[in-house]
A and B are shown apart, each in its own frame.
Chain A
């Protein structure tokens, strides 16, 4: 199943279902309908797990200076980490209400930075911000997610050969 976000195309080759969760066009399938809730880009159902997938593309070849400045400012001041947190929590609630949370969840984020030190750092920041906020939770019987991690394009493709991502503009240019 193929899903597009801007200039990036994902192919979830072993998915049972894969939807654009951030669908805000009323006439399209899977219309979300609550603009005030944060939303991840895709929700993917696999045989044994569910993926929440969020994409940020500062490495877009036609990224505008203004947008890049905003992205990096938000990366530095923690706003980006807050956004990733909110997207997960609101998506979790929405899918819970839909009774769709029947399998372990993996929160996978593709952020097209070159530097893997930065993506590792962002991973830690998002995990710190998500419940249980780094605290011990002896009363909890479940955890919100199995894995929460940020990848750059290269690391994503290296780690998930069954879910390859291509940059559409570079493919078009190659033809």
Chain B
């Protein structure tokens, strides 16, 4: 998991330090305050190490850092210097502190500048090749199931796709393509079945293709035969006859839930084994009625010690987190805002009611005020 991220002169941020909860982190803030950039910076750092174990050659390491950051952020001309805010040498810094398996502290740091394509990786990190190996997951705002076949299996069009989609989309498709290696634990299996019933079917991955098989999990009939008693209380998937659909025919919100389902099903997302789960605006294109299911799954994963870092604009998501969490849960809210000098700052709190400034609540307040203004003019003022 990532415990701390420090950004200096990096993209929108002049200086920003953020301490993460080992469980659930919710990043909120208005558009343009750098929520996604913060998420991507943490993800890029974590994924560089886990995707490239045991690299110590300085030139190779520099290339790996440069490639990953430019492919994740996609700056102009794919030049890493475009991610820095000033012109001095080595002015931008990105540093993350990580815990490997909850024990070993790892620090990953690098500096770079705008002027030349220079990049300097922390000496200690370089010399020890002291890599963080827990592979993180990034779920971007657009759903990826409908892009899966193209992004994963069309090498002839890779350049085109790479001009459109940043690396987080490719990374996620690779995660989705993994084959399940063992059965999931019963509680997780119940969540998976609940997701299938919510989206009225399941996405089935076979080689390079993915289809949606409509249907639902229903309980086995009670059996009087002793050897079948093991099925009591369990459910099985009953497909709807002749209802295999192209993924493009399925609602986008369902596809997003399908991603979460697949990551858990194929054990890409396993608490204590996988790295952090980064999720950029889970609510985008999602029917609000599905949000409770997502929050229940996230809370369950976090109770199994999965670190989750998400960004949101969504009242409903935060409200469900607030309502469904208990005293043992740890949810940390990080509020990004612009101070009086127009610099991005962060405030963190464990209590939703202490969120200030709260872009989401402010929106409701704004609606209240606008209704008064539009309907009542200056009455009462």
Could you list 18 further interchain pairs (A-B, Cβ under 8 angstroms) beyond the known A116-B361, A147-B376, A159-B372?
A: A49-B376, A49-B379, A106-B375, A106-B376, A116-B364, A116-B365, A117-B315, A117-B319, A117-B361, A120-B364, A120-B368, A146-B375, A147-B371, A147-B372, A149-B368, A159-B368, A160-B381, A162-B380
Asked, given contacts A116-B361, A149-B375, whether A155 binds B368 with beta carbons under 8 Å apart, the answer is yes
Residues of B with C-beta under 8 A to A48: 379
Segment 118-175 of A: residues with Cβ below 8 Å from B: 119-120, 123, 146-147, 149, 151, 155, 158-163
Flag whether A46 is at the interface (Cβ < 8 A): yes
Residues of A with C-beta under 8 A to B380: 159-163
How many B residues, CB 8 Å from partner? 16
Residues of B with C-beta under 8 A to A161: 380-381
Taking the closest CB of chain A, its distance from the CB of B365, in whole angstroms, is: 6
Residues of B with C-beta under 8 A to A106: 375-376, 379
CA distance A55 to B364 in the complex (A): 20
CA distance A155 to B380 in the complex (A): 13
Residue contact A155 to B379, C-beta cutoff 8 Å: no
Taking the closest CB of chain A, its distance from the CB of B227, in whole angstroms, is: 47
Residue contact A151 to B368, C-beta cutoff 8 Å: yes
Flag whether B369 is at the interface (Cβ < 8 A): yes
Jot down 21 A-B pairs with beta carbons below 8 A, ordered by A.
Answer: A48-B379, A106-B375, A114-B353, A116-B364, A116-B365, A117-B364, A119-B368, A120-B364, A120-B367, A147-B371, A147-B372, A147-B375, A149-B371, A149-B375, A151-B368, A155-B365, A155-B368, A158-B369, A159-B372, A159-B381, A160-B380
Residues of B with C-beta under 8 A to A158: 365, 369
Q: Which B residues are within 8 Å of any A CB, using their own CB?
A: 315, 319, 353, 361, 364-365, 367-369, 371-372, 375-376, 379-381
Nearest 4 A/B pairs, CB to CB: A147-B375, A160-B380, A116-B364, A159-B372
CA distance A123 to B361 in the complex (A): 16
Nearest neighbor of A106 in chain B, beta-carbon distance: B376
How many A residues, CB 8 Å from partner? 21
Taking the closest CB of chain B, its distance from the CB of A60, in whole angstroms, is: 19
Residues of A with C-beta under 8 A to B367: 120
Q: Chain A's interface: helix, strand, loop or mixed, by majority?
A: mixed
Residues of B with C-beta under 8 A to A162: 380-381
Residues of A with C-beta under 8 A to B353: 114
Residues of A with C-beta under 8 A to B375: 106, 146-147, 149
Residue contact A123 to B369, C-beta cutoff 8 Å: no
Residue contact A116 to B371, C-beta cutoff 8 Å: no
Residue contact B379 to A46, C-beta cutoff 8 Å: yes
Nearest neighbor of A12 in chain B, beta-carbon distance: B380
CA distance A116 to B376 in the complex (A): 19
Segment 47-80 of A: residues with Cβ below 8 Å from B: 48-49
CA distance A151 to B315 in the complex (A): 18
Residues of A with C-beta under 8 A to B364: 116-117, 120
Residues of A with C-beta under 8 A to B361: 116-117
Nearest neighbor of B366 in chain A, beta-carbon distance: A116
Nearest neighbor of B380 in chain A, beta-carbon distance: A160
CA distance A12 to B369 in the complex (A): 19
CA distance A15 to B319 in the complex (A): 39
Residues of B with C-beta under 8 A to A147: 371-372, 375-376
Residue contact A123 to B381, C-beta cutoff 8 Å: no
Residues of B with C-beta under 8 A to A46: 379
Nearest neighbor of B364 in chain A, beta-carbon distance: A116
Nearest neighbor of A150 in chain B, beta-carbon distance: B368
CA distance A27 to B379 in the complex (A): 33
Taking the closest CB of chain A, its distance from the CB of B249, in whole angstroms, is: 33
Residues of A with C-beta under 8 A to B369: 155, 158-159
Residues of A with C-beta under 8 A to B379: 46, 48-49, 106
CA distance A29 to B23 in the complex (A): 61
Taking the closest CB of chain B, its distance from the CB of A25, in whole angstroms, is: 29
Choose among A114, A117, A123, A163 the residue that contacts B371 (Cβ–Cβ < 8 A): A123
> Among B315, B368, B376, B381, which residue has the most Cβ atoms of chain A within 10 A?
B368
Residues of B with C-beta under 8 A to A149: 368, 371-372, 375
